[in-house]
Structure 1
Amino acid sequence: MGLFIDGAIILLYFVAISAIGLTMGRRETNLKDFALGGRQIPWWAVMASIIAAETSAATFLGAPGEGFEKRSLAYVQLTLGVVIGRWVVATVFLKPYYDYKVYTVYDYLAIRFGPKTKSFVSALFLVMRTLASGTRLFIPSLVMVLAWKLFAEQGGQSIKFQPVTSVGPYLVAIITLTVLTAFYTAKGGIKAVIWTDVVQACLMFGSALIAIATLLNHIGGFDALLKAVPAMAKPEGYFVTGFEEAHNLDFWGYVKLIFTGEYTIFSALFGATMMNMAMFGTDQDMVQRMLTAETHQKARKSLLTAAFMDIPIAAVFTFIGILLYVYYQKNPLHLPLDPSGKAINSDIFGSYILNVMPVGIRGLVLAGVFATAMGSLSAALNALATSATNDWYVPALARRGQYTDEAAMSGARGFTILFAVLMVLVASGFAYMKVKNPDIRIIPVVLGIAGYIVGPMLGVFLLGMFTKNRGSDKGNLIAIVVGLLTTGFLGDLHIKVLDPLGIKIMHPEWLPQISFTWFALIGSLTVFLVGVWFKTPAEVLAAAKRKAEDTDSDDDLPPSLRKEELAPEEAH
């Protein structure tokens, strides 16, 4: 009976979310509708969509893993950078995007610098978002595979966790989830994404609160929590300066400690600030839903409200991990362990959901897991399809004189399916890595991939936003390459990428191996410092000024089809 109730709840969720997606996006007729929803989406729906897009299954399952391992809310202090970074984006970035009536943020780069900068940065986005979202796509398969083991092999009876040693079950789960999400995303475009995100955001946060109530009941309330984790009654349970374990270090030792620490007050104020400026100012996946609001003022309201909502959301999911630590101390039977006997942090919440939660509540929380996964996946698919269509496919159609609204829409839907396939491949590869090395942590991998690429992307946008005549196509290409190489060398990537090629690079002991939380700052700062040496051509600046002053331009066509919107060398 319990199996039937939980299954019915999950099935009802899948049916309802697909119906909402198909209904809301049924009148898509051109790329403006598919990509921007006609710029008619209410600000509160945009806010909910932002929350759903950024709160992926990596947060739902990964943040509890961080709370479990650290036994503190240190991860939450990164939200300080969330608020600061998004305030800068809301204040500086959004108005130019609306002034130039862009379809993707990379249209802005074509106007400010030239077509080569736009193409290069757009290509970086397509690579980064496919890798990062593909990696995140693997995460809900962890719970789906556990659920399959529990119900198919044990008839819904409690089981002791055993690591899955084959990629096959993960692959089936990944494909199932992707097919369901890609179906309504390809059909309904951004409207389907946003309105399903509204439902998914509510379900996600509601199921997390239910999980906290269930855990508190199982461990015996807050008194039991404070006895098991005394730090929760002290300030260090909430903030970590980064110097708690430092003893007798010299000045350079403290500097290295700052840049190698993942969750410190320094990475929160500086690293996370730049990361959020990059994600919400330059990543089409996040910016696209903001562009659906009617005005930049409403888009700003959506972004800032979502930023402040991130604080309780991050706290809730990290707090779940701390409660799980207390629970498993008392009841270790279902604690997921690898062959060496070490806890597998990415599976601790999933094992609790399936083995301990009461019938009905279990089904609701599982639906919450799938909601977070589908919300972030649908957003990524739509953003990738929009960028590929607007930045690459539409210009190609225009050069051949073959552009029509129907051709653009067919291209956008085709790219949605293409990127869904690519994400399945990436997720399958990460599943293989996870099977081979269960100790891999989710949050550092997902944020590390994103931070490595969006940092240099942000540097180019900073050149455009904070200087009047610096940066050029040539200079930006050089600066981005230098930024990628610098971030890769200072971080972990130089070893992991080059070693398989037989290239050995000795990392000097005196040089700090920076944490993933600093990738965006290092990359953006490097690109800015290199790119600022190059001057923007006068004719490009003149054309950009004319476009900013043109308030009558028709934005029903993609920017690449508006002759007055092209860089001078493209207009002839």
Structure 2
Amino acid sequence: MTLPLTDLIVFLIYITGIVLFGASFYFRSRSSDAFTSGGGNIPSWVVGMSIFATFVSSISFLALPGNAYQTNWNGFVFSLSIPIAVFFAVKYFVPLYRSINSVSAYSYLEKRFGPWARIYASACYLLTQLARMGSILYLLALPMNALFGWDIRIIIIVTGALVMFYSMMGGIQAVVWTDAIQGLVLISGAVACVLVLLFSMPVGPAQTFAIASEYDKFSLGSFSFDFSASTFWVILIYGLFINLQNYGIDQNYVQRYMTTKTEKEAKFSTWMGGILYVPVSLLFFLIGTALFAYYKVHPELLPAELSSIDMADRVFPYFIVNGLPVGVTGLLIAAIFAAGMSTISTSLNSTATIILTDYYQKYADNISEKSSMMVLYVSSLVIGALGIMAALAMTQVKSALDAWWALSSIFSGGMLGLFLLGVISRKTRSVDAAIGAVVGVLLICWVSLSPTYFTDGVWVQFRSPLHTNLAIVVGTIGIFVVGFCLGRFIHRQKESPKKKMSKP
């Protein structure tokens, strides 16, 4: 298919402008401090837009409409948990990180439990970011594949290389400022798409809502307490835990708390980035529902190969290419790239920062500013290449959203439980936390993997009855409960005889 000249110009101007704008920060990011924290001088509203844009990504822009098209608004329950998570992050986590004054989210764990805890958490984080970048790059390639017919693998490689270029050149300042622009572009694109879909219906916008209601597309899921299915409660609980992890201990967000001048500005940025996502994610679900209604009225406009429910992720890209007016298509493609590029650049910068602070600066000798910058550059390059490989592997999955949720639960490794244990339970020792972490990881593997591998024979009775999204919940609770009980009761019992003997 040939893209209209107007759309091509809109898209190319955007991509070229973002890459050059991001790369221009090279002249302001010549030190490791500027590369990782921007010198703590970035405006709070820019940081807030960056947090929002990082959270959105192409996972939201394409997978959420695909999810709503395929099923209903059950996934929107995830968004409803965000304000609660942001409240706890602003009240407890932001002050904590500002007080220890470390750009690494995991330095606190070393202070509390020792080096092993920091290495464990940072390694889990690196794995999570690889899965995230893979999902995003894959979803980013779908509309370009529908538009030009180019091989998805080539699109993934080229896109990844472009983002790697400007994020390596400009550091966190390039990431945050380009995120702010990309956040505005993706909101504009989502609003434009909703308006086009609603007013393309033969009877008007009300027809969309009538058809959606008829097919129960606005349902938030079953309210039953069946924790083996994707019910309202399962998604809400999963959302609470994963968003507490995002805003509380994720390096992507913690690093931004350190880029503002004051703690007050950091709190404002966190609220802004979190709350803005809720109505915007509602727009994404509305797009998916409107697409369902649109193709119910115009079934002849949807190719037969996309009629299968397994192809839901590809319906929105197809509509962008074939159903939008000239000019709007270019805007939507630019918006999807904005969503994906912002998150990928963030992941590259944050993972490079973790490798520098949690590994190189801790264990290397003769550390210099030049060697630190070299580590940041090489780390960005290697992680970017691995992210591209993960994206190529992602082309084999049916639902990118389900794959991302499953992988994030597994790779997160119950890090939230370890943080909560350190903050809440002062009597928990390093060995108690280590035992808790082992138990938590085993529980995560059981919930995540047993439904796939324990399918027949004697192993069926050991299969987890829980939905796989609850892996992070079970892992977090397991780490906290085991570590807390060991510190509170076992430690006390060992100390009590000594106390009795010391009495006269």
Query: Same-fold call, TM > 0.5?
Result: yes
Mapped pair 1:416 → 2:380: yes
> What TM-score comes out, normalization by structure 2 length?
0.91
2:131 maps to a residue whose letter is: L
- Which of the residues 384, 391, 410 maps onto 1:452? 410
- Spell out, residue by residue over 1:195-234, the C-alpha distance to the aligned partner (whole angstroms, 9 max, x if none): 00001000001100000111112123222113312259x9
What is the DSSP-based 3-state SS (H/G/I as helix, E as strand, rest coil) of the residue aligned with 1:416?
helix
Q: Residue 494 of structure 1 is aligned with which of 441, 447, 450?
A: 450
Find the aligned partners of 1:286 and 1:496 in 2 and give their Cα distance.
33
1:383-417 C-alpha deviation (Å, 9 max, x unpaired): 111101111112233xx2x2111110111011001
* Deviation by residue 1:493-548 (Cα, 9 ceiling, x = unmatched): 2354789xxx98734399523241x2322111111112224549xxxxxxxxxxxx
Contact between 1:75 and 1:263, CA under 8 Å: does it hold in 2?
Answer: no
The offset of 1:281, in angstroms, is: 1.3
Provide the C-alpha distance between the structure 2 equivalents of 1:269 and 1:425, rounded to a whole number of angstroms: 32
Task: Report deviation, 1:173.
Answer: 0.4
Aligned counterpart in structure 2 of residue 172 of structure 1, from 154, 160, 169: 154
CA displacement 1:367-387 (0-9 Å, x = unmatched): 011111101100011111110
Query: Given that residues 89 and 277 in structure 1 are in contact (C-alpha distance below 8 angstroms), is that contact kept between their aligned partners in structure 2?
Result: yes
Q: 1:29 to 1:269 in 2, by over 3 A?
A: same
Q: Flag structure 1 segments of 5+ consecutive residues without an equivalent.
A: 153-168, 244-253, 435-439, 537-572
Task: Find the aligned partners of 1:296 and 1:520 in 2 and give their Cα distance.
Answer: 29
Taking the aligned partners of 2:206 and 2:412, their CA distance within structure 1 comes to 43
- The answer on 1:198 being equivalent to 2:198 is no
Corresponding residue of 1:321: 288
Write the deviation string for residues 16-58 of structure 1: whole angstroms up to 9, x where unpaired: 1012212234221322211111111111111100111111111
Question: Matches of 2:335 and 2:88 in 1, distance apart?
Answer: 31
Moved more, 52-61 or 276-285: 276-285
How has the CA–CA distance of structure 1 residues 525 and 147 changed in structure 2, closer, same or farther, with 3 Å as cutoff? same
Match of 2:440 in 1: 483
Q: Which residue of structure 1 lines up, in the alignment, with residue 259 of structure 2?
A: 292
Count of aligned residue pairs for this structure pair: 486
User: Equivalences for 1:254-293 in 2 at 5 Å?
Assistant: 254=225, 257=226, 259-264=227-232, 266-293=233-260
Match of 2:270 among 290, 303, 306: 303
Give the corresponding residue for 2:401: 443
The whole-number CA distance in structure 2 between the counterparts of 1:423 and 1:510 is 32
* Contact 2:454 2:462 (8 Å CA) reproduced: no
8 A Cα contact 1:46 1:302, kept in partner: yes
Please give the alpha-carbon distance, in whole angstroms, between the structure 1 residues aligned to 2:408 and 2:464. 23
Distance in 2, matches of 1:419 and 1:505, equals: 41
AA aligned opposite 2:474: I
Call closer, same or farther: CA 1:188–1:238 in 2, change over 3 Å: same
Tell me, yes or no, if the aligned pair for 2:53 and 2:183 is still in contact at 8 Å.
Answer: yes
Q: CA RMSD in A?
A: 2.4
CA drift of 1:98 comes to 1.0
Q: 1: distance between equivalents of 2:467 and 2:259?
A: 36
Tell me the distance in 1 between the aligned counterparts of 2:303 and 2:111: 52
**Equivalent in the alignment of 1:556:** none
The one-letter amino acid paired with 1:382 is N
Partner of 1:388: 355
Instruction: Name the residue aligned to 2:55.
Output: 54
For structure 2, the residue ranges without an aligned partner over 5 or more in a row are 489-504
In the TM superposition, 1:521-560 aligns within 5 A as 521-535=473-487
Contact 1:275 1:455 in 2 (8 A): no
Which AA in structure 2 matches 1:522?
V
Q: 1:386 is paired with a residue of what secondary structure?
A: helix
Task: For 1:140 and 1:293, locate their aligned partners in 2 and report how far apart those are by CA, in whole Å.
Answer: 30
Aligned to 1:561: none
The corresponding residue for 2:40 is 39
Can you list the C-alpha shifts for 1:429-477, whole angstroms capped at 9, x where unaligned?
A: 111x14xxxxx112121122112232510011001111223141x3333
Structure 2: which amino acid aligns with 1:410?
A: M
Question: C-alpha offsets along residues 97-130 of structure 1, whole Å, 9 cap, x if unaligned?
Answer: 1111111111111112211111111111111211
- Residue 277 of structure 1: CA displacement? 0.6
Give the letter for the 2:331 counterpart. Answer: L
State the one-letter code of the partner of 2:143: V
The whole-number CA distance in structure 1 between the counterparts of 2:457 and 2:433 is: 29
Give the secondary structure class of the aligned counterpart of 1:229.
Answer: helix
Three-state SS of the structure 1 residue aligned to 2:81 is: helix
Q: Distance in 2 between matches of 1:54 and 1:449?
A: 16
Task: Give the secondary structure class of the aligned counterpart of 2:427.
Answer: coil
Which whole-Å CA distance do the structure 2 matches of 1:106 and 1:497 have between them? 33
8 Å CA contact retained: 1:464, 1:471:
no
Could you tell me the percent identity over the aligned residues?
25
Amino acid of the structure 1 residue aligned with 2:129: R
Q: Please state if 1:237 is matched with 2:194.
A: no
- The amino acid across from 2:85 in the alignment is G
Distance 1:228 1:495, change over 3 A: closer
1:323 offset after TM fit, Å? Answer: 0.3
| Contact 1:67/1:318 (<8 A) preserved | yes
| Contact 1:205-1:313 within 8 A present in 2 as well | yes
Alignment of 1:364 with 2:325, yes or no, is: no
Cα distance in structure 2, aligned partners of 1:337 and 1:506? 41
Secondary structure (helix, strand or coil) at the match of 1:357 reads: coil
What CA distance in whole angstroms lies between the structure 2 residues aligned with 1:19 and 1:311? 31
Letter in 2 for 1:4: L
Q: Deviation digits for residues 169-211 of structure 1, max 9, x if unmatched?
A: 1110001111110001011110000000001000001100000
Structure 1 runs (4+) deviating above 6 angstroms are none
Query: Does the 8 Å contact 1:2/1:360 carry over to 2?
Result: no
